[in-house]
Amino acid sequence: MQFPGLDGEIDMGAITHGLLARMLRCAAAEVREHHEWLSRLDSVGGDGDHGTTMVRAMSRMEQALEADVSGKIQTLLNDVGWAILGVDGGAIGPLLGMFFVSMAEAAEGLEALDAEGLASTFEAGLAGVRAQTKAQLGDKTLVDALVPAVEALRAAAEGGKEVLEALHLAAEAAEAGAELTSTLQARFGRARNIKEQSIGTRDPGATSMALLFRGFEKGVEPHA
């Protein structure tokens, strides 16, 4: 599948630098649209500023996107990651920042990401997050959305899916993982202090990750 994009005709068999930039912009827009919801979720067990912090992170990402003239996937991801690392306000800056920096390392020398390259790059991003936190599946953190999303990308690649379908499946998996956190008791962050009272509310970090993946999917849609 091909459609007109930032770099002329974009081959949907692979993610180009221009298409990646659009994915990131759509992810930022998705977070901005829902930032008040994110802060409400955070107010249950945290200090209620997660939405505001995510908006700051997305602003840093957008600044990096505007400044990028490299035409290189690795450089774009690296610049975005280092920009987000500078965001204060909880753990999201270091976690999300290292997510993109680690993706950049895996994308070295790649001019485009097919389904296999996409899966490998996101797997590296997950490894970068895991290097920053001891959180595991079921601990009610962003890991609960990120792991199933990355696993969906890997399954899609091994199943011969194109990147559009792979990202759709990843977004669905991330959302399902984020929704599942409403049944869990928090074991990390401030929310762990309210123990069983954290059950019944989605984790804001997992929800943010699901929103990012929804944005990634929208970024590769023909009319994004």
Query: What are the structural domain ranges in the chain?
Result: 10-219
CA distance 133 to 127: 10
pLDDT tens for residues 73-116? 999 999 999 999 989 877 889 999 999 999 999 999 999 999 99
Quick one: tokens of 137?
A: 């599946």
pTM over 0.85: yes
pLDDT tens for residues 147-176? 999 999 999 999 999 999 999 999 999 999
The residue assigned the tokens 């490299």 is: 70
Which among 94, 152, 101, 103 has a CA at the least distance from the CA of 124? 103
What one-character DSSP code corresponds to residue 201?
S
Pairing of strands 8-11, 2-5: antiparallel
Quick one: tokens of 32?
A: 């901005």
10-219 classified as CATH 1.10.287.130 = no
Query: Stretch 115-132: mean pLDDT, rounded?
Result: 97
Q: Which helix (DSSP H) or strand (DSSP E) does residue 8 occupy? A: strand 8-11
Q: Which range has the top average pLDDT, 67-76, 85-94, 193-202?
A: 67-76
